[in-house]
Structure 1
């Protein structure tokens, strides 16, 4: 049962607060969601879609009379500014690492008085992370992994994805870019650099559009990349790994681990 503590009417501008509030049993507080929301699937049937990622239906959001609007990323600054100027309370987070994701989940749970449920979920999630890391530690070798968040320009893995690659049993080939908090600072300037780093596995998650492995295979000079030569090009949908919330910490990590375990079993 939803408590009376905290904001009773919440608009979620991205998917991860929606998924988290549903997991906490606090979904009745949600009065509007992002049009990109697919987790949980039933949210699309139950809640009005009032925003994209970079913009939203300001009049419609205001009409919902939210007590709080929750979003993610500096990229939503313009949208947040419009909503603030419309007189709404807006909370934008900028979590980038696995630990920051856990911290943000805790803060959100505290806002709605669901601390106990949140701690139980986080404890179980951390336990699963430890199991996966322990299983991967028994492997004789770890795959070198190139994670591509966007193809033109090429953008490598954000920090939490790079960290999840490590937990799952792989090594990110662009660790120096992963620590850069802004997407523009993770752009790969030299199109041949990923090929030179010889990844064993390539994972594409092109921010909502379908990953095209045939386009990667056709890149000039990439034919001898181990991942290309051995057809180790895979997609993980952005909703499963590029949302800094429950999905990435569970399904995203599990998918990475399965890919790396398969590579380890069938080199």
Structure 2
């Protein structure tokens, strides 16, 4: 009786034991731990919070709706794939020869865009919101990416790299830009931070728009070791419209204009603004204009803008004169 019981269970038990030993050997060969599931890829979202759809093949007909995106595409060496750009794209110069799909008023020619048969239409910052929706309804692949901070601008470059199958180039570019930012931060470390007003627009006399908190302009000032006098003002998406009284009360040591001279970016005109003569920046003749394209376009050249800003505010820690591109 006992013999029968042993013989009935012996072989099944032996089989189970073999399976356990094989599993243990497998764990030992794999470093002693079970295989881990692959991490879920991070979902990239556009300016509207919608997940970005990445193409399965490299798009060959690109259209850029804004200058900063044109500059990103060029920095990724994609000029040969761009079939059209917006009215204000002017860098690099070879892009100025391409067809224009918008005018000086910011109106876009939807029919022309569709007729060019793009397989990817790119924008940023929600500047073309109305047209994004219209073009999407017409069946085009439109991606509008957030760009309001330096980190978002760098992430935008990497996303465009994924969309256009130039990831390695994008990663290398981002690494280079990060290194330059770190070098500039190190150069100004330990200097005395001046107070600065960074103006974005003065087309309405007496009520200039400035870079407030949460913007790439505010970050540029921080990286250049300066204090934004309107850092705590985040109204109007971080671009508050302030009053003359608010500027006089803030009393910045530097006033830096970033807008086109046609919209107030002329230092000489600042000295004529009513009641501004008592501001420290005017008393010290610290009113300057920096290249609008470098300071207002959240693309790769934003780091050139940081170089200009840091060298202007802390000339003693930089060798040589202010780079020509700053003007």
Normalized against structure 1, the TM-score is what?
Answer: 0.88
Say if 2:72 and 2:157, in contact at 8 Å, map to a contact too. yes
Displacement of 1:181 in angstroms is: 6.3
Q: Following the alignment from structure 2 to structure 1, what is the Cα–Cα distance between the partners of residues 156 and 260?
A: 22
Say if 1:142 and 1:264, in contact at 8 Å, map to a contact too. no
Go from structure 1 to structure 2 and tell me whether the alpha carbon gap of 1:208 and 1:106 turns closer, same or farther (over 3 Å shift). Answer: farther
User: 3-state SS of the aligned residue for 1:206?
Assistant: coil
Tell me, yes or no, if structure 1 residue 163 matches structure 2 residue 219: yes
Larger RCO: 1 or 2 (CA < 8 Å, sep 6+) = 1
Displacement of 1:145 in angstroms is: 0.8
Aligned residues: 256
Say if 2:195 and 2:226, in contact at 8 Å, map to a contact too. yes
Q: Following the alignment from structure 1 to structure 2, what is the Cα–Cα distance between the partners of residues 242 and 218?
A: 24
Matches within 5 A, 1:1-267: 5-45=57-97, 47-52=98-103, 54-139=106-191, 141-151=192-202, 152=204, 153-157=207-211, 159-177=215-233, 179-180=234-235, 182=237, 186-188=240-242, 190-206=243-259, 209=262, 211-248=265-302, 250-262=303-315
Go from structure 1 to structure 2 and tell me whether the alpha carbon gap of 1:246 and 1:23 turns closer, same or farther (over 3 Å shift). Answer: same
Q: Following the alignment from structure 1 to structure 2, what is the Cα–Cα distance between the partners of residues 19 and 97?
A: 17
Say if 1:132 and 1:168, in contact at 8 Å, map to a contact too. yes
Displacement of 1:133 in angstroms is: 0.8
Task: Supply the RMSD in Å over aligned alpha carbons.
Answer: 2.2
Say if 1:143 and 1:263, in contact at 8 Å, map to a contact too. no
The structure in which a higher percent of residues are strand is 1
Task: Write out the 4+ residue segments of structure 1 that deviate beyond 4 Å after TM superposition.
Answer: none
Q: What do residues 57-115 of structure 1 show as CA deviations (whole Å, max 9, x unaligned)? A: 11211111111111123332122233233332211123211111111111111111111
Q: Following the alignment from structure 1 to structure 2, what is the Cα–Cα distance between the partners of residues 264 and 165?
A: 16
Q: Following the alignment from structure 1 to structure 2, what is the Cα–Cα distance between the partners of residues 23 and 264?
A: 29
Name stretches of at least 5 consecutive residues in structure 1 with no aligned partner: none
Q: Following the alignment from structure 2 to structure 1, what is the Cα–Cα distance between the partners of residues 174 and 120?
A: 24
Q: Quick check: which has more Rg, 1 or 2?
A: 2
Q: Following the alignment from structure 1 to structure 2, what is the Cα–Cα distance between the partners of residues 257 and 14?
A: 27
Say if 1:54 and 1:79, in contact at 8 Å, map to a contact too. no
Normalized against structure 2, the TM-score is what?
Answer: 0.73
Q: Following the alignment from structure 1 to structure 2, what is the Cα–Cα distance between the partners of residues 261 and 38?
A: 30
Say if 1:54 and 1:75, in contact at 8 Å, map to a contact too. no
Go from structure 1 to structure 2 and tell me whether the alpha carbon gap of 1:43 and 1:90 turns closer, same or farther (over 3 Å shift). Answer: same
